[in-house]
């Protein structure tokens, strides 16, 4: 049994980027811990109350089979040109000291005897400031803890192919086609292609547990609802593969045995 820590920016990212992989690893008997940097509460919406997004994360983690979920302690930085002031008692992740955040994550990796860290590619997938910070913090934490890191991504060629469709259907906003062509990583840099079609139902159910983004009014909420309500065969086709790039280009199994990593299980 290996211990895998999946490090994400916000609640719901764990499903969108690695939900099938988490479910597959858990089903294969591995121990998975989900860590989010941010609580997901951008505006401290009084209607929903503080902590609602983290409650949704816990529900999602349980569906996927993860052992637990952990909040690293930072506030959501939001997307767009305006970086809001820090909420009382918390720091927005984009303003956080990267080394301090990395030490927090490294301590968790060490305490949990982690064998593998799942993080993000250098672009954070699509350039969100919190996602890019996840890459920076994850890479440094893995270095401090001496843990192998593999970075969630998407094939750049695939984004370029379907970006125009998403824009025409008005399922995404705040993205321009020329920007979308730079999202993710080239196929040549992707080292792991994970088939998660058998776990599509769990992945879709975990997505539906995130009721806050599902109830939103923006175009991103429209895409969220389209995915969560898609018939399972369609969802399996669209979301049945997850991609990772390992620094250094190492290929092979995503999770190696404890003996190969040289780590002891707790």
The pLDDT tens digits of the residues spanning 172-182 come to 556 665 666 66
Nearest to 68 by CA among 128, 99, 114: 114
Q: Tokens 């990267």 identify what position? A: 98
The pLDDT tens digits of the residues spanning 16-61 come to 999 999 999 999 999 999 999 999 887 555 555 568 999 999 999 9
Q: Are 68 and 54 in contact (CB under 8 A)?
A: no
Beta bridge partners of 3: 31
Q: Can you give the pTM of this predicted structure? A: 0.89
Which sign, positive or negative, has the C-alpha torsion 118, 154, 122, 72? negative
Q: Are 230 and 223 in contact (CB under 8 A)?
A: no
pLDDT value, residue 231: 95
The pLDDT tens digits of the residues spanning 175-227 come to 665 666 668 899 999 999 999 999 999 999 999 999 988 887 665 777 788 88
What mean pLDDT comes out for the span 164-179?
58
Q: Rounded to whole angstroms, how far apart are CA atoms 185 and 232?
A: 27
The answer on pLDDT for 264 being more than 60 is: no
Q: In sequence order, what DSSP letters do the residues of 222-253 get, joined into one string? A: HHHHHHHTS-HHHHHHHHSEEEEE-TT---S-
Residue 113: C-alpha distances to residues 104, 152, 178, 240, 263 (Å):
14, 21, 42, 30, 7
Q: Are 56 and 11 in contact (CB under 8 A)?
A: yes
Which domains, and CATH codes, for the chain? 3-246 (3.40.50.10320)
């Amino acid at each position: 049994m290996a211990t895998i820590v999946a490090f994400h920016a916000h609640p719901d990212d764990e499903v969108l980027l690695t939900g099938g992989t988490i479910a597959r690893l858990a089903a294969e008997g591995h121990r998975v811990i989900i860590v989010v940097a941010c609580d997901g509460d951008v505006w401290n919406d009084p209607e929903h109350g503080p902590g609602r997004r983290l409650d949704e994360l816990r529900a999602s983690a349980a569906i996927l089979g993860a052992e637990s979920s952990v909040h690293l302690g930072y506030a959501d930085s939001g997307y767009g040109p305006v970086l809001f002031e820090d909420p009382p008692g918390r720091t927005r992740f984009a303003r956080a000291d990267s080394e301090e955040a990395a030490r927090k994550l490294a301590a968790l990796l060490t305490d949990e005897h982690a064998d593998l860290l799942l993080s993000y590619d250098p672009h954070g997938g699509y350039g969100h400031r919190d996602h890019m910070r996840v890459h920076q913090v994850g890479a440094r934490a893995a270095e401090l803890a001496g843990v192998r890191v593999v970075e969630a991504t998407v094939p750049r060629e695939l984004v370029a192919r379907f970006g125009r469709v998403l824009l025409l259907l008005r399922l995404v906003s705040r993205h321009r086609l020329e920007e979308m062509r730079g999202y993710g990583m080239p196929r040549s840099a992707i080292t792991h292609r994970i088939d998660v079609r058998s776990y599509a139902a769990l992945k879709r159910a975990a997505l539906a547990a995130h009721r806050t983004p599902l109830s939103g009014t923006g175009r991103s909420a429209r895409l969220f609802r389209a995915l969560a309500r898609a018939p399972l065969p369609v969802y399996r086709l669209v979301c049945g593969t997850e991609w990772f790039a390992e620094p250094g280009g190492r290929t092979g199994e995503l999770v190696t045995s404890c003996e190969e990593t040289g780590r002891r299980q707790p």
